[in-house]
Every structure is written in C-alpha cells, then in structure tokens.
C-alpha cells in the first residue's frame, strides 16, 4: 500500500491552473525534497496532500484511502503539515503550541499522560527547552519554525509535509534540522520537504521532485533529478556540478 498516491492531480485558483496532472507514489519511508522556481506549485502541492486544498481533478490518497473519504481528524492522524510561517497571531506559549499537535489524539478536555510525554519528547528533539514557557509570538522566525516542527513531532503522524522548514535558520540550525529530518525518516516516516536549498536537497534527500509550471518534470534520485541539463530549463539559469575534496557533489548556478 502506498503511503501517498497522487493520480493525475490538478488544482487551480479559478481558471488559473497551479498543479497540472501530477502523478507520483511514495511506498516507503523516504526524505523527498520538492524543488522548483517561485510559483511552480510547490506549496500548493503540499497543501493538497495535507487535505487543505481539494484537487479540481484527479485523486490524492493517503495509506490507500482517498482524501475525500477522510475527515479532518483522520487526515491529521496521517499527516503533519508544517507551514512556512504563521501569519495570524497565536496567543499561546511554546509548550501550548506543541501540545496542539496532540489534538487528533485527544479524547477529552484535558491532556493525558501520553500527550505530556509526547510534548516533552518533541521539545527535547527540537532543542527548544530554553524557551518552552515563552509566548510563541515573541520568538524569531527560526524559533517559531522549530516550535511548529515540535508540534508536528508530537502529532506522531507517519507523513510529514514541511514547507521551507529551514527558511529562517542559520547554517548550524539548518544542519541540525536536516539531521533531525533524516532521523524521523529512519524511524519510518515519509518526509516531503519544499526547499530552495538545492545543495542540501542534493546531499541529504533520498529522492527529488522537480516542479515546473505546475508539472512534475522529474521524480528521481538527487543525482539524476538535479543534473544541470534538467535544472537549467526549469530555473532558467546555467547550472554547474562540482565534486568537493571529500567526494560530495554540489551545485553552482548563474
């Protein structure tokens, strides 16, 4: 059974198409980077898999069940969605925001011992103990992203959908983030990650989806999907591939 199955999925805002007949399957735990230029449909694809947008045609299934047959609670038990940023003010502490990740599992008005253990575990994994009791809205953008990731970990879903999770992070925290994503993958999760950090995608992803004008133009290993000849027509600049002294491959462009 596929964890995620996209079958000819299209979506548009009014008459303007954003996703065009995308088909792909994810059958095993993988770290999949989704890359493409601005406006290619990356965030829209993530939101569609999360059940926040409904395809205008085609179907998206999670663990063998079409999204249309699942209610919000059932979807949230399968998928944890981490947006790029939160635009509305959140009048909660960090700990309270992380606890919201337990909502799909709640059975009453109060948190259970299992909920509290999940929150403690998520806070420890994301190294946010130092500001656990601070108001969420007082945090920096990078700190807020770490809190949202902690809430997703507490949610304990088998599929993670992350939209630019490292957008506000410095190199040290970027490295920690990708190490944590790999750890979550190794624990059996599927990780779909929208990113503009092409070298991190090339080095750390198991698989890369390349979007261009709403179409999935590549779905392959990083070495194949991110070949300069593939990337140049997508991003409309020359790409060059290099080998570092330690054997790692990296890209430059322009």
225-239 tens-digit pLDDT: 999 999 999 999 999
pLDDT at 159: 97
Contact 41/6 with Cβ under 8 angstroms?
no
- Residue 73: phi and psi, rounded to 5, are -65, -45
pLDDT tier, 250 (very low <50, low <70, confident <90, very high otherwise):
confident
Is the pLDDT reported for residue 182 higher than 70? yes
CA distances from 24 to 6, 58, 207, 219 (A): 5, 12, 12, 8
SS3 state of residue 67: helix
Cα 154 to chain center, whole Å? 15
Q: Is the dihedral of CA 130, 191, 223, 10 positive or negative?
A: negative
Is the pLDDT reported for residue 193 higher than 90? yes
- Of 133, 134, 104, the closest CA to residue 118 belongs to 104
Q: Furthest-apart CA pair in the chain: how many Å?
A: 57
CATH number, position 134: 3.40.50.300
Q: What angle do CA 191, 166, 26 make, to 5 degrees?
A: 15
**What is the residue-averaged pLDDT of the chain?**
93
Could you read off the pLDDT of 36-52 as tens digits, one per residue?
999 999 999 999 999 99
When divided into structural domains, the chain yields a total of: 1
Domain hosting residue 48, numbered range: 4-253
Could you read off the pLDDT of 118-131 as tens digits, one per residue?
999 999 999 999 99
72 burial via Cβ count (<10 Å: 0-12, 13-18, 19+)? exposed
Q: Which residue has the tokens 């591939």?
A: 241
Sequence-distant (≥ 6) Cβ neighbours of residue 185 within 8 angstroms: 29, 30, 31, 191, 206
| Three state DSSP letters for 122-184 | HHHHCCCHHHCCCEHHHCCHHHHHHHHHHHHHHHCCCEEEEECCCCCCCHHHHHHHHHHHHHH
4 forms beta bridges with 26, 62
- Of 38, 6, 52, the closest CA to residue 194 belongs to 38
Q: How far apart are CA 213 and CA 211, in angstroms?
A: 7
């Amino acid at each position: 059974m596929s964890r995620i199955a996209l079958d000819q999925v299209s979506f548009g805002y009014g008459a303007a198409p954003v996703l065009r007949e995308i088909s792909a399957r994810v059958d095993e735990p993988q770290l999949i980077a989704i890359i493409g230029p601005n406006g290619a449909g990356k965030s829209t694809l993530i939101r569609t898999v999360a059940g926040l947008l409904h395809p205008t045609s085609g179907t998206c299934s999670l663990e063998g069940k079409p999204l249309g047959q699942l209610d919000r609670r059932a979807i949230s038990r399968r998928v944890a969605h981490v947006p790029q940023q939160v635009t509305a003010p959140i009048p909660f502490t960090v700990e309270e925001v992380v606890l919201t990740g337990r909502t799909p599992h709640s059975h009453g008005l109060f948190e259970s011992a299992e909920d509290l253990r999940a929150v403690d575990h998520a806070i420890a994994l994301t190294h946010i103990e130092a500001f656990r009791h601070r108001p969420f809205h007082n945090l920096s953008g990078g700190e807020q992203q770490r809190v949202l990731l902690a809430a997703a970990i507490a949610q304990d879903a088998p599929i993670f959908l992350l939209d630019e999770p490292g957008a506000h992070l410095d190199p040290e925290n970027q490295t920690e983030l990708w190490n944590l994503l790999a750890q979550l993958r190794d624990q059996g999760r599927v990780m779909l990650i929208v990113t503009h950090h092409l070298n991190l995608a090339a080095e750390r992803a198991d698989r890369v989806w390349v979007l261009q004008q709403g179409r999935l133009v590549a779905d392959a290993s990083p070495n194949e999907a991110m070949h300069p000849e593939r990337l140049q027509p997508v991003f409309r600049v020359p790409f060059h591939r290099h080998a570092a002294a330690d054997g790692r491959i990296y890209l430059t462009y322009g």
